[in-house]
């Protein structure tokens, strides 16, 4: 079993979740997070003045899957989450011990 942690832009989150509908997900969590990557921060305008925000809003998906589903899930996440611009997000794949994946 594997744990996939993916961060995507908020406006792409629904597309990513819809693309994962055909995959058997054992457990999933979706939450709003703030973070930064190579883009570091971004400049905003409010009432004619500029201000800087250090963290950019993202949506984090945590998915537990069987090993055979991981490759297809990664392809779905990358295809649906990619906009082609900096800050599209990150995908991490971690091993998940079976005994911690579910409770009886």
What is the residue range of 88's domain? Answer: 2-95
Structural domain contains residue 90: yes
Structural domain contains residue 101: no
4 φ/ψ angles, rounded to the nearest 5 degrees: -105, 125
Residue 87, SS3 per DSSP: coil
Structural domain contains residue 100: no
Whole-prediction pTM value?
0.80
- C-alpha to C-alpha distance for 26 and 51, rounded to whole angstroms: 42
- CA distance readout (Å), 79 to 6, 25, 53: 13, 18, 28
Structural domain contains residue 50: yes
pLDDT more than 70, % of the chain:
76
Name the maximum alpha-carbon separation found in the chain: 57
Q: Give per-residue pLDDT as tens, 34-64.
A: 877 666 555 666 666 655 666 778 999 999 9
For position 85, which CATH number holds? 3.30.70.120
């Amino acid at each position: 079993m594997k744990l996939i942690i993916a961060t995507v832009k908020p406006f792409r989150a629904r597309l990513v979740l819809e693309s994962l509908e055909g995959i058997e997900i054992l457990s999933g969590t979706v939450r709003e997070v703030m973070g930064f990557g190579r883009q570091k921060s971004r400049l905003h305008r409010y009432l004619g003045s500029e201000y800087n925000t250090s963290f950019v809003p993202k949506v984090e998906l945590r998915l537990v899957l069987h090993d055979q589903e991981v490759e297809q899930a990664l392809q779905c996440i990358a295809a649906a989450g990619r906009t082609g611009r900096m800050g599209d997000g990150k995908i991490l794949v971690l091993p998940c011990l079976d005994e911690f994946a579910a409770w009886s």
